[in-house]
Amino acid sequence: MRLGCGGCLVALTCLVVLLVGGFAGLFWFVLGVFQQPDLQTVAANPADWRSAQQKIYALARRSRAGSGRVAEPTVLSEGEINAFLSRQLADAADLPLAAVTVRLRDDGAVEFRGRVPLRAVLTEPPMPPLVEMLPPRWLERPLWLHLRARARLELAGGRQRRYLRLDVTHFWLGQRRLPAFLFRLIVNPATLRLLRSPVPETIEGLVVEPGRVVIRTAS
């Protein structure tokens, strides 16, 4: 009988330890989700915005009246990309994005960080029921999206249709890394379409280098 009671006590103790450990792990995870990821901000100014506009407009104009010759590469700096996306990305993605930062890495990767309210990632199934369960003040809590992707030029439907494709390889909510496929489950279709964006047909190649993107075109 004593052995039986002792066994029950050990089992109960193990259960309590597991529950405490589980709640502690959940608390640790949730706390990290709402913390800002460690990604250095890129300083951008109005001059970067004007320069980015001019270069992107020149690429579009070149595609409408091209001669087929190889032109000088177009180079977009990190500052120009950040200045442009900070004004354009929120509307294009249909997300209330703020504090947008893009870093171009030496391994050819693109890193992105942006802040959204929690409600913005609860719009796609099966998340909407959570909106009814959470207090309104929780739904407005800032949440950081952080991802790393590989950029490449994709040809589709013949050489006249080209896309800039971003293949997500790493994904974090705040400081907590999650499987990359979860990014596609929590963002809206408009955001997902940005992972495969049409580009002018004269673009021949695109290379991500540390601090810049080099775009090769035919003039």
Q: Is the pLDDT of residue 208 over 90?
A: yes
pLDDT of residue 77: 94
Secondary structure, 3-state, the chain? CHHHHHHHHHHHHHHHHHHHHHHHHHHHHHHHHCCCCCCCCCCCCHHHHHHHHHHHHHHHHHHHCCCCCECCCEEEEHHHHHHHHHHHHHHHHCCCCEEEEEEECCCCEEEEEEEEEHHHHCCCCCCHHHHHHCCHHHHCCEEEEEEEEEEEEEECCCCCCEEEEEEEEEEEECCEEECCCHHHHHCCHHHHHCCEEEECCCEEEEEEECCEEEEEEEC
Highest mean pLDDT among 132-141, 151-160, 167-176: 167-176
Taking only the tens place, the pLDDT of each residue in 18-71 is 555 444 444 445 556 778 887 788 877 889 999 999 998 888 887 555 555 557
